[in-house]
Amino acid sequence: MGFMLLRRLGQAFLILIGVAAITFVLLYALPADPARMLAGRSATAQTVASIRHELGLDQPLLVQFWTYLSGLLQGDLGRSYAQKTEVWTLIVARLPATLTLMAAGILVEVVLGITFGTIAAVKRGGTVDRVVMMASFVGVSAPQFVVALLLLYVFAVTLGWFPMSGYGSFAHVVLPAMTLGVLGAGWYARMVRSAMIDVLNQDYVRTARAKGLSSRRIIFRHALPNAILPIVAMIGIDIGQFMGGVVVVEAVYGWPGIGQLAWQAIQQVDIPIIMGVTLTSALAIVTGNLVADVIAPFIDPRIRTS
Amino acid sequence: MGIVRSLLRQPTAVFGLVVVILVVVLALAAPLIAPFSPDEQMFDGLTLEGAPMPPGGQFLLGTDTLGRDLLSRMLYGARTSLIIGLVANGIAVTIGLFIGIVAGYLRGLAGNILMRFTDLMMAFPALLLAIVLAALLRPSLWIVAMVIALVNWVQVARIVYTETRGLVERDFIMAERSLGAGHGRILFLHILPHLVPTAIVWGTLGIATTVLLEATLSFLGIGVQPPEPSWGNIIFESQSYFQAAPWLVFFPGMVILLTALAFNLVGDALRDILDPTQRGRG
């Protein structure tokens, strides 16, 4: 177990270095020129050249990458080109907003998923079951930005229940969290449903039934705890999906998280910030998968023996 | 034809198939059925106050903020979405097939390197990567297709890799090898045909992902550039106006949803039919 964990940590570390390398090459090989962007339209070639020198952009790519990497290994993500602030500081300042949004979104997914997945499994073939199966497809087929705009139109513009955009109170979280959560909930419900059906067909459930336990007790005490196992793994994987979706959702709702930070940086070709956010996202994805793998044997003893 | 018959037995697949065919036909016939030119700013296309016309009347789905006919723009937008869907996903499936087969067949060092690279790509936040690339590349239709292909091949490669690994172990491949068949013959005549179902399934499911990704990039203003219409950029152009003219978001949004849903339903049904071991799984 300890050895496995070490190996996985080593792999995760290598993957992050790889992500850094690929992003770096992509960003600096692209035609967009951060120095010209900073200098502005009317700048002379000389000004652009001096800015380029100042940012270290006139050095060979390999040297630049080495500088970046050695900084990275010491926990230094560099400084923003436009704002001159430490990238790390900028990201840390934005992180709470994004984490709040993700947590709220995952909460919506899990609550809706478990509720409707369980009902669908217990009343198989019923209306809820059919709606869940269809909703899981609609969820992966609906564009997030359209859902975001529609929720805004119905609940903020027409009904006025929630604010249009902004950050700070519970009311602000509801619509963005719904946008992220409602779409994913279908798949969660589907997973819970199929796991629940498996569990309900097992001998120990039949035993419980034969003992004369109420079906409520069987479902909630005996079946459900086993049926929600796959959800844990799913949350780990889901974090990756969220990191992408966050850019869109934060753009629509004016949510001041790292997605918005990335979006502003992209428009200014502020490469250190883009690198920082990409790496933070990759870190979240790798950690999510790692945690899901590491936790799995603790909640499901069957995995431990194999 | 057994596949088609099995498809027609599932109501959801039939629904998906009908929508797919409808979208394809409408896209192909866009120049014939579009009531107006998609780019023409109609002199009577705005109200006296300069607002877009609501649906109904002369302009069936209303007009956009520049007084252009929304229905015509959406019909031409279907072409953009489908072209990008087919091209981008075609490239993605090809790359995925190639890397998956080679890595699964070669194993050893080369195979290992390819699969570690695939693992690396799995750790990339795909949408973020696509947004960064599209934004910095000053996009055109083809660039958008390339960017989408670049982030979408990973999943196909993983699945093809696993399948190839399984196939290589099978007796008929060993028999073929002992008969003296070369690598090329084994790969193309014996392994590739077994992967056709996977390619078909992902060739369909992937279009849904691609259509959504294109719409998202265009919505952010870094996909297909106006005035060339795409479902995503119609919404991008009118989003600041959507409180007053919600249909400008609603109609294209519904079309994106329906198209992606249709490809997902057909793809999922194909997976059930072509691969019985996957039946009933997520």
The full set of domain ranges for chain A reads 2-73, 94-305
At residue B194, does pLDDT exceed 80? yes
Q: How many Å lie between the alpha carbon of A263 and the closest alpha carbon of chain B?
A: 9
> Residues 221..280 of A with a Cβ closer than 8 Å to B: which?
240, 243-245, 247-248, 251, 262-263, 266-267, 269, 274, 277-278
Residue B137 to residue B124: CA distance in whole angstroms: 19
ipTM of the modeled complex: 0.83
Q: Is residue B85 a contact partner of residue B214, using CB atoms and an 8 Å limit?
A: yes
For residues B210 and B152, give the distance between their C-alpha atoms in angstroms, rounded to a whole number.
8
Contact A116, A128 (CB under 8 A): yes
Residues in chain B whose Cβ is within 8 Å of chain A: 12, 117, 119-120, 122-129, 131-133, 135-138, 208, 212, 215-216, 219-220, 232, 235, 239, 242-243, 246, 249-250, 253, 256-257, 260-261, 264-265, 268, 280-282
Per-residue pLDDT of chain A (306 residues; tens, 9 = 90+): 677 788 888 888 888 888 888 888 888 777 667 777 777 777 777 777 777 777 777 777 788 888 888 888 887 777 787 777 888 888 888 888 888 888 899 899 889 988 888 888 888 888 888 888 888 888 888 888 888 888 888 888 788 787 777 777 777 888 888 888 888 888 888 888 888 888 888 888 888 888 888 888 888 877 888 777 778 777 877 777 777 778 888 888 888 888 888 888 888 888 888 888 888 888 888 888 888 777 777 776 666 654
pLDDT computed for residue B281 by the predictor = 45
The CB-side HSE value for A176 (13 A sphere, CA atoms) comes to 34
pLDDT at residue B282 tops 50: no
Q: What 3-state class would DSSP assign to B46? A: strand
* DSSP string for residues in A55-76: HTTTS-HHHHHHHHHHHHHTT-
CA torsion B245→B250→B252→B254, rounded to 10°?
Answer: -170
pLDDT at B263 over 80: yes
**Which pLDDT value is given to residue B91?**
94
**Residue B22 has what pLDDT?**
92
Residue of A14, A141, A270, A273 for testing the chain B interface, max B β-carbons within 10 Å:
A141
pLDDT attached to residue A305: 54
The pLDDT of residue B261: 92
Biggest distance spanned by C-alpha atoms of chain A: 87
Average pLDDT over residues B260-279: 81
Torsion of CA A105, A106, A112, A115, to 10 degrees: -160
Burial status of residue B131 (CB atoms within 10 A of its CB: 0-12, 13-18, 19 or more) = buried
Is the model more confident about B58 or about A201?
A201
pLDDT at A24: 85
- Mean pLDDT of the residues in chain B: 84
Q: Which amino acid is at A56?
A: G
Q: Residue A147 and residue A176: Cα distance in Å, rounded?
A: 10
Assess whether pLDDT exceeds 80 at residue B196: yes
List phi, psi (to 5°) of B139. Answer: -70, 150
User: Is CATH 1.10.3720.10 correct for A94-305?
Assistant: yes
Contacts of A142 (CB under 8 A, 6+ apart): A183, B257, B260, B261
Put simply, the answer to whether A143 touches B250 (Cβ < 8 Å) is no
Rounded to an integer, what distance in angstroms lies between the CA atom of residue A20 and that of residue A12? 12
